[in-house]
Amino acid sequence: MSYTESIGSRTYRFADLKTLLAKASPQRSGDQLASIAAASEEERVAAKMALAEVPLRTFLNEPLIPYETDEVTRLIIDDHSPAAFAEISHLTVGDFRNWLLSTTTDTDALTRITEGLTPEMVAAVSKLMRNQDLITAARKRPVITRFRNTVGLPGRMSVRLQPNHPTDDVKGIAASMLDGLMYGCGDALIGINPASDNLAAITKLLQMIDDFRQRYQVPTQSCVLTHVTSTIAAMEKGAPVDLVFQSIAGTEKANASFGISLALLQEAYEAGLSLQRGTVGSNLMYFETGQGSALSADAHFGVDQQTCEARAYAVARKFRPFLVNTVVGFIGPEYLYDGKQITRAGLEDHFCGKLLGVPMGCDICYTNHAEADQDDMDNLLTLLGVAGINFIMGVPGADDVMLNYQSTSFHDALYVRDVLGLRRAPEFEEWLESMQIIDARGALIGPSARQPLLEGARDWMGIA
């Protein structure tokens, strides 16, 4: 089905729904690279106007990628709930925007319709929204998950402690981990990106974190972000695996480029459940995504990068994840050129994920060849904090020495907690207070009071 819209004497024609979505997207270097972006701002406005009139039910009848050839499309269609959709089935995309922003649409209403939404519907409505709209609607839709603690409660924001090391040196990683804990970070996860997929090295890192966690009774979870097949192998060898990690994308072909399928993710999910390592819940998958991954694998099929990203959240939702992380600026300026595009993408991803019932966090980051700097990251950090982000990254000095990119630091987490009054996961916060790292208000205590824990951990780890 084609779509048309006139502005003055000029009429714009859009061949199909995926073309309309691409042309309606805010400016994005990745869509320009794929030659699917609007040629002018006027064409972009025309596409938005035409998109606003599209009934939501159209997205169920006009798949962007054929049902017969893509298992992600099959997942989206087969898992769709007509009962949950009924409440909004009469709306157009423009009407849906107005409904989302209405003061009468609350958390209960957004929760009721979750299973009736498809990624294409939420991607479409996001294209009609200003940044403040994305923040307003996402803030109304908390997504709460549990493993050893509880993440996503309103008024709280967690931090993934990311103590990476370029050679997977255990002492170096342990030192960064202790540093982050002393700043009150690590309630979302202590997660290491390994320099290699060597099974012995992965197991050694998992064992180190787990030994520390048990010794100090830390109510958090660990993960080594290796390929899911390596994690399955580690579980088979008896390694202490908490969360099961995998990068995912929004098309079957893009996921195949990662060496995964829905069946493989199901196998990993069931293996993780069988370990029964969670204490307050059983959400155990950890997924990472990012706009541009499908395009970089030549697996986007002419679909714009933001809609492809939203489709990845349907994959995530299938496996009841504990955390989902959009690594928003990591893929580079070829896909998100500058701070403005990174900021917009981060807000879009958080909004789309939350509407789909996914526990969204964000690695607020950029590569050194992007037209962005730490001020841009401060802006996005603040906006996502207001929007109700589940978690952010805590990287020593905000500079990851293994992955060579810029993210957010332990100090950045302190900043956003202070200015927005955000607390940590409740179980983790109680532990920090018992360890004399924070006081009853959640504020850090001076270094002399927390020295006993630091010294004890140093002795145990053998760190000078």
For the stretch 67-96, pLDDT in tens is 999 999 999 999 999 999 999 999 999 999
Question: Which pLDDT score is estimated for 402?
Answer: 87
Which run of H or of E encompasses 366? none
Could you give phi then psi for residue 201, rounded to 5 degrees? -65, -40
Question: Which pLDDT score is estimated for 41?
Answer: 97
Q: 1 or 362: which carries more pLDDT confidence?
A: 362
Lowest mean pLDDT among 196-200, 293-297, 377-381: 196-200
In whole angstroms, give the CA distance from residue 286 to residue 309. Answer: 16
Question: Which pLDDT score is estimated for 1?
Answer: 85
In whole angstroms, give the CA distance from residue 182 to residue 174. Answer: 12
Lowest mean pLDDT among 100-104, 248-252, 365-369: 365-369
Q: Which of 112, 109, 120, 141 is nearest to 77 (CA)?
A: 120
* pLDDT tens for each residue of 409-451: 999 999 999 999 999 999 999 999 998 899 999 999 876 545 5
The pTM assigned to this predicted structure is 0.96
Position 457 pLDDT exceeds 90: no
Whether residue 96 contacts residue 88, with contact meaning beta carbons closer than 8 Å, is answered with: yes
Mean pLDDT computed over 176-201: 94
Cα R_g (the chain), whole angstroms: 22
Question: Which pLDDT score is estimated for 197?
Answer: 87
Question: Which pLDDT score is estimated for 23?
Answer: 98
Position 461 pLDDT exceeds 70: no
Report the Cα–Cα distance between both ends of the chain, in Å, rounded.
68
Amino acid at position 416, single letter: V
C-alpha angle 286-353-323 in degrees, rounded to nearest 5: 20
Position 452 pLDDT exceeds 80: no
* pLDDT tens for each residue of 170-183: 999 999 999 999 99
Mean pLDDT computed over 161-165: 95
Mean pLDDT computed over 2-16: 95
Question: Which pLDDT score is estimated for 447?
Answer: 65
Q: How high is the mean pLDDT of the chain?
A: 95
Other beta carbons within 10 angstroms of residue 346's beta carbon come to 30
Position 231 pLDDT exceeds 90: yes
* pLDDT tens for each residue of 304-339: 999 999 999 999 999 999 999 999 999 899 999 999
Matching residue, tokens 């959240």:
313
Question: Which pLDDT score is estimated for 463?
Answer: 56
Q: Which of 3, 112, 116 is nearest to 62 (CA)?
A: 3
Share of the chain above pLDDT 90, in %: 92
